[in-house]
Amino acid sequence: MKKYTEMSKEELLHEKESLEEAYREYQKRGLSLNMARGKPSVEQLELSMPMLDVLHSQADLVCQDGSDCRNYGEPVGIPEARALMASMMEDDPENVFVFGNSSLNVMYDTVARAMLFGVCGSTPWCRLPEVKFLCPVPGYDRHFKITESFNIQMINIPMKEDGPDMDLVEKYVNNDPAVKGIWCVPKFANPTGTVYSDEVVSRFAHLTPAAEDFRIYWDNAYCVHYLYEDNQPQIPEILSECAAAGHPDMVYKFASTSKVTFAGSGISALASSKRNLDDIKRHLVVQTIGHDKMNQLRHARFLKDHDNVIRHMMKHAAILRPKFEALEKVLDDELISRGIGKFEKPLGGYFIAYEGPDNTAKAIVKAAKECGVVLTGAGAPFPYGKDPDDKWIRLAPSFPTLEDLKQAAAIFAVCARLVYAKQLLGE
Amino acid sequence: MKKYTEMSKEELLHEKESLEEAYREYQKRGLSLNMARGKPSVEQLELSMPMLDVLHSQADLVCQDGSDCRNYGEPVGIPEARALMASMMEDDPENVFVFGNSSLNVMYDTVARAMLFGVCGSTPWCRLPEVKFLCPVPGYDRHFKITESFNIQMINIPMKEDGPDMDLVEKYVNNDPAVKGIWCVPKFANPTGTVYSDEVVSRFAHLTPAAEDFRIYWDNAYCVHYLYEDNQPQIPEILSECAAAGHPDMVYKFASTSKVTFAGSGISALASSKRNLDDIKRHLVVQTIGHDKMNQLRHARFLKDHDNVIRHMMKHAAILRPKFEALEKVLDDELISRGIGKFEKPLGGYFIAYEGPDNTAKAIVKAAKECGVVLTGAGAPFPYGKDPDDKWIRLAPSFPTLEDLKQAAAIFAVCARLVYAKQLLGE
């Protein structure tokens, strides 16, 4: 396929005209398609329906420590749920607290506690003149919304092929005591799909923060969310890496079953050092009567252990993989072959990040919307919603049916080509 | 029965000796009884087991707005859960947000938000030199723990027969701009069982706070928790009372199903004005992906509406009532008849508050503990755990079996008599 940059003006004009024709044809169909959000599809949700049948009788409701899960009780999670989440997170159950249905809520509360009470005895952040977080970009919009809502200054850290730019991370963390945290999605990063390399994880563990209350906010949201049976990348376990490097308290790890069982009714967990967990528990027992233990028990009984979770995730993969591959094929055939942008094929997670030519993302998202395809807003994967190059678009292929997805991808490609053709023509 | 205050020294000495004998006998039994916490009993939990069978198929999981409750979605509650909680709380569904399993968590977060962000645009409380809350006493220990954890100064307001001392409430609220809130349990107050009178509710609605961000924290925890079919006290609805008095934004109402369905796996709700709800929602959408909608749906399908909730609560009452009456009989026969302390017979809720002679509560709780009966710590129903008269003890009859409860009550009575006898003897 001829690259757009190699086309003559005439060729580009012709290209543009035929794309406009195609665009108008799509518009006439009055479509309503959506690739905006990493939502599991209905078929995926159906995979966990047997979970609704594991709790029946009074006897079923008693958990391993002998307590009745229906009543008040343990604020940090029932034993079998701690064991389950620990197996998913590669931690010991005693390092894991299990919470409610939203790991985002756990992260928010972790930052809120630091604002109000500090971290392990440090000055509450609300009393400091400035607090900064490092934000690998493109990244997860809802992480950035949390820090933005607390008026925490966010600093962009470019993502490389194997994780965040660690030279920059080290420069900030090791020198600036106002830098209190960094948002990380270490495996199948949202939205690039990046898997942190061993070296990147090791450099994280060897950070020597200027701030005693600096923590790595390690959101292992996609820890078991593989797309392929035979290619399941592993990363070093960050808690033990930090401990080995002499920084046992430097990380909070988060995970959930939102994309394992039910997106809105999963369970979430935080793994950390004893010192950090004690610091959290002190506040947790004031904040809540404890999280929903019946749902924790339901999960533990249904998902059982790590191996069974992986088997379950392969059923998700069988549904997701054709969608990812269909989208990748359209991107390859229609855009990459013409030299328009690039993307990495992810091995897991929920997203494909399309890196278009500079100054095209907003225009593509707008064109797609006007043609019936809703995409994540351009800029969303950046702090303050500002992509400095206006080039990244997050594509979420999970929710639509395969047919809808193919149509949405085709429209996306037409929009991306059209916007770039116009740009090259100086329109 | 002869009153202790009318006994001669000899009679008291004799009384003491026979009580010590009885106490030793009980001690020998090596009992392990508990009247400490307002936990539903196993029989009560069994009442809601059919709730686990209402969700089966994909079709069951679609709620009134057409969305799949298993997936991400509505952050403020599904329509039928808002309608259910509104019917319990006597509000319109649009005034009600439905949350997760812990109304305590909702209250904590409401105060935490005020600390961090202020209330409807006011100065964040963490930036103020002092913040005060009024605390009707005796009251609910976990309310006081919340305000204590935020270093909010707590001011005791004595409870009268029909609610808090409103002269004092008005004096503080209407004059001191540092007073930002008051904790209220308006119906079957924890632990006194007090039902606020129409006049008290009206005086609340007519407060003219010195602080624009003063709110009434109206924890209607026991709104439908009656003990008697034929005696169900009602109180005026505070949101509409406040609106009618020209203070539509002055109250946050809280409720939950913790003591309707499952103590640890219920749903909770907050009702307030549109302005307050908008203020909360702005932060809520950053904090969480939303609460567990499947559990909301389960509750809506099982509990249906207010009338059905009341029928369900009468089943609870049938289990609870004999326990309350057994405890009341022991208190009447063994203590009140001897002029030792007093208590009000509650018409609902989970507690009986025993008001002993001054300077006896700690000693009674200690003696009971050493005889195998765990009670709520003396002082717990007061801010900072300090009962200035050391006379209040909260008794929770719900969890033990009737037999265990009768034994615990008998031991409690022996302890209370013994402690008072010793006090009168100057020991």
* pLDDT tens-digit readout, A33-51: 999 999 999 999 999 999 9
B61, B265, B289: residue with CB nearest A104: B289
User: Does the interface ipTM go beyond 0.85?
Assistant: yes
Helix B293-303 crosses helix B306-330 at what angle (to 10 degrees)?
80
Average pLDDT, chain B: 97
A101, A112, A289: residue with CB nearest B291: A101
In this structure, are residues B399 and B316 in contact, taking their beta carbons and an 8 Å threshold? no
A42, A71, A142: residue with CB nearest B58: A42
Mutate to test the interface with B, among A45, A46, A56, A70 (most CBs of B within 10 A): A70
The helix (run of H) or strand (run of E) holding residue B310 is helix B306-330
Question: Tokens 């594509």 label which residue?
Answer: A395
Report DSSP state, residue A290: -
One-letter amino acid at A315 equals: K
Residues found in chain A: 427
- Supply the pLDDT for residue B345: 98
pLDDT tens digits, residue range A233-268?
Answer: 999 999 999 999 999 999 999 999 999 999 999 999
Query: Long-range pairs for A56-59 at CB < 8 Å and ≥24 separation?
Result: A56/B49, A56/B52, A57/B49, A58/B42, A58/B45, A58/B46, A58/B49
Res. A308: pLDDT tops 90: yes
Residue A145 has which token pair? 């919304």
Q: Does B258 touch chain A (CB under 8 A)?
A: yes
Mutate to test the interface with A, among B65, B72, B145, B258 (most CBs of A within 10 A): B72
CB atoms within 10 A of CB B103: 24
C-alpha span between B140 and B387 (Å, rounded): 13
Contacts of B244 (CB under 8 A, 6+ apart): B205
- Supply the pLDDT for residue A11: 97
Split at pLDDT 50, 70, 90, the class of A288 is very high
Which of B8, B12, B6, B16 lies closest to B414, judged by CA? B16
- Supply the pLDDT for residue A206: 98
Residue A81 has which token pair? 């749920």
The percent of residues above 90 in pLDDT, for chain A, comes to: 98
Res. B78: pLDDT tops 90: yes
Residue B302 has which token pair? 């099982």
Mean pLDDT of A55-65: 93
Mean pLDDT of B226-249: 98
A101, A105, A258: residue with CB nearest B287: A105
Radius of gyration of chain A (CA): 23
Q: Is the pTM of this model over 0.95?
A: yes
Residue B128: exposure state from Cβ atoms within 10 A (0-12, 13-18, ≥19): middle
Show the CA angle centred on residue A195, arms to residues A113 and A361, nearest 5°.
85
Q: DSSP per residue over A243-286, as a string?
A: HHTT-TTSEEEEEESTTTS-TTS--EEEE--HHHHHHHHHHHHH
- Residue of chain A whose Cα is closest to the Cα of B283: A149
- Supply the pLDDT for residue A418: 98
- Supply the pLDDT for residue A74: 80
Residues 82 to 141 of A: which have CB under 8 A from any B CB?
100-102, 104-105, 108-109, 112, 115-116, 124, 126-127
Mean pLDDT of B264-268: 98
Q: Name the phi and psi angles at A271, rounded to 5.
A: -115, 135
Q: In whole angstroms, what separates CA A393 from the centre of its chain?
A: 15
Res. B74: pLDDT tops 90: no
Residues 322 to 361 of A: which have CB under 8 A from any B CB?
none
In this structure, are residues B12 and B425 in contact, taking their beta carbons and an 8 Å threshold? yes
pLDDT tens digits, residue range A152-167?
Answer: 999 999 999 999 999 9
Helix B166-175 crosses helix B198-205 at what angle (to 10 degrees)?
0
Q: Does A248 touch chain B (CB under 8 A)?
A: no
- Supply the pLDDT for residue A343: 98
Task: Sort out which chain B residues have CB atoms less than 8 A from A68's CB and list them.
Answer: 42, 45
CB spacing of A295 vs B295 below 8 angstroms: yes
The helix (run of H) or strand (run of E) holding residue B183 is strand B179-184
Residues 143 to 172 of B: which have CB under 8 A from any A CB?
145-146, 149-150
Average pLDDT, chain A: 97
Distance from CA of B250 to the nearest CA of A (A): 23
Report DSSP state, residue B377: P
Mutate to test the interface with B, among A53, A56, A289, A299 (most CBs of B within 10 A): A289
In which order are the strands placed within the sheet that holds A251-256?
A: A96-98, A268-271, A251-256, A215-219, A179-184, A132-137, A153-160, A163-164
- Supply the pLDDT for residue B116: 98
B136's torsion region: left (phi>0), alpha (psi -120 to 50) or beta? beta
Residue A74 has which token pair? 């343990």
- Supply the pLDDT for residue B214: 98
CB atoms within 10 A of CB A74: 19
Residue A18 has which token pair? 């035929």
Sign of the alpha-carbon torsion through A80, A82, A88, A90:
negative
Task: Sort out which chain A residues have CB atoms less than 8 A from B289's CB and list them.
Answer: 101-102, 104-105, 258, 263-264
The percent of residues above 70 in pLDDT, for chain B, comes to: 100
As a 3-state breakdown, chain A gives helix, strand, coil percent values, each rounded to 5, of 45, 15, 40
Question: Tokens 């289990």 label which residue?
Answer: B319
CB spacing of B290 vs A264 below 8 angstroms: yes
Task: Sort out which chain B residues have CB atoms less than 8 A from A104's CB and list them.
Answer: 287-289
Residue A381 has which token pair? 């994967």
Q: DSSP per residue over A23-61, as a string?
A: HHHHHHT---EEE-S-PPPHHHHHTTGGGGGS--SGGGG
3 state SS of A355 = strand
Q: What is the 3-state secondary structure (H, E, C) of B61-82?
A: HECCCCCECCCCCCCCCCHHHH
Residue A395 has which token pair? 């594509």
C-alpha span between A189 and A351 (Å, rounded): 8
